[in-house]
């Protein structure tokens, strides 16, 4: 079944990484994939353009089905292979609600992380202002405090939506992983750091770990003074 799947992906991209984790959790190893370099602009290639009108990665194809948004691809894999591998969406409505809530909230954490980590990448030099970066950092700090509170409330050793690993963890871990990599002070988000330590050696996470992070384990010190 996995042989009929094709994933176009770029290393270090949280959206790509979450789809790869989902594939591992659903025991779909052996899927076809093409690694595309952001630096060389390979993700804008004709192959991706033919499948994805937004011309971005991840672009995922299973037989004749094409799913391009990472959340949608992850949910599709859970629906299509519900009884295979790790059950990522619980049956209980209350538990489902929390999983969906944390999944969608991940967009907030991801965007605020991007606004600081990739400020110089996204904002042209003539439009950069220290005051804007300061506001971005303050917004990210508040967001981290919120997520740290979620984990504190759940209790030590908990996943993002309870005692079991779920789709919330699949979609959010690739974002959380940037904080220790970019040297965020542990005291800024101690529960998130503990969560990262708990998950970083999970087989699905290790199997999909970003290539450049393996080659260069130490990241920039972007969050050092957060």
Co-location of 26 and 99 in the same domain = no
Domain boundary among 37, 56, 81: 81
Is 38 in the same domain as 108? no
**What contacts 27, CB < 8 A, 6 or more positions away?**
81, 84, 85
Residues β-bridged to residue 5: 62
Residue 198: Cβ-neighbour burial (10 angstroms; 0-12, 13-18, 19+): middle
Within this chain, do residues 44 and 150 fall inside the same structural domain, yes or no? no
For 119-123, the CB contacts below 8 A with 24+ separation are none
pLDDT at 39: 85
Contact between 131 and 176 under an 8 Å Cβ cutoff? The reply is no
Q: Is residue 226 part of a domain?
A: no
Half-sphere exposure of 142 toward its Cβ, with a 13 Å CA cutoff? Answer: 8
For residue 58, cis peptide bond before it (omega within 30 degrees of 0): yes
- 107 and 193 in a common domain: yes
SS3 state at 26: coil
Give the pLDDT confidence score for residue 37 in this predicted structure: 92
Q: What beta strand segments (E) does the chain contain? A: 5-9, 32-35, 59-62, 65-67
Residue 86 falls inside a structural domain: no
Structural domain range at position 190? 93-215
Q: What is the pLDDT of residue 158?
A: 96
If asked whether residues 50 and 114 sit together in one domain, one would say: no
pLDDT along the chain (226 residues), means of 10: 94 97 98 93 93 96 97 98 97 98 98 92 86 95 98 95 98 98 96 98 97 90 92
How big is the CA angle at 29 (ends 204 and 18), to the nearest 5 degrees?
45
Indicate whether 46 belongs to any domain: yes
Tell which of 81, 111, 135 closes a domain. Answer: 81
Same domain, 28 and 136: no
Q: How many domains does the chain have?
A: 2
- Structure confidence at residue 123 (pLDDT): 86
In-domain check, residue 160: yes
Q: Do 76 and 107 have their domain in common?
A: no
The predicted pLDDT at position 201 comes to 96
pLDDT at 69: 96
Examine residue 225 and state whether it is found in any structural domain, yes or no.
Answer: no
The CATH number covering residue 55 comes to: 3.40.30.10
Structure tokens at 40: 């060389």
Please tell me the predicted confidence (pLDDT) of residue 90: 97
pTM: 0.95
CB contact at 8 A, 119 and 113: no
Examine residue 43 and state whether it is found in any structural domain, yes or no. Answer: yes
Q: Which residue has the tokens 């979450």?
A: 18
pLDDT of residue 103: 98
**The pair of three-digit structure tokens given for residue 124, joined into one six-digit string:** 């042209």
């Amino acid at each position: 079944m996995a042989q009929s799947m094709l994933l176009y992906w770029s290393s270090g991209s949280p959206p790509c990484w979450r789809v790869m984790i989902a594939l591992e959790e659903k025991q779909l190893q052996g899927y076809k994939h093409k690694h595309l370099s952001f630096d060389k602009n390979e993700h804008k290639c004709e192959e991706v353009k033919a499948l994805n009108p937004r011309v971005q990665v991840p672009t995922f194809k299973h037989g004749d089905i094409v799913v391009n948004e990472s959340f949608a691809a992850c949910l599709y894999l859970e629906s299509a292979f519900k009884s295979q591998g790790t059950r990522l969406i619980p049956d209980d409505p209350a538990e489902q609600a929390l999983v969906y809530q944390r999944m969608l909230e991940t967009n907030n954490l991801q965007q605020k992380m991007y606004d600081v980590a990739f400020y110089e990448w996204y904002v042209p030099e003539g439009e950069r202002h220290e005051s804007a970066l300061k506001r971005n950092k303050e917004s990210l700090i508040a967001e981290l405090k919120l997520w740290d509170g979620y984990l504190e409330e759940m209790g030590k050793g908990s996943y993002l939506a309870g005692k079991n690993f779920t789709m919330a963890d699949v979609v959010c871990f690739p974002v959380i992983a940037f904080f220790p990599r970019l040297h965020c002070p542990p005291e800024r988000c101690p529960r998130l750091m503990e969560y990262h330590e708990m998950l970083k050696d999970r087989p699905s996470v290790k199997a999909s770990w970003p290539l450049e992070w393996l080659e260069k384990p130490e990241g920039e010190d972007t969050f050092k003074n957060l």
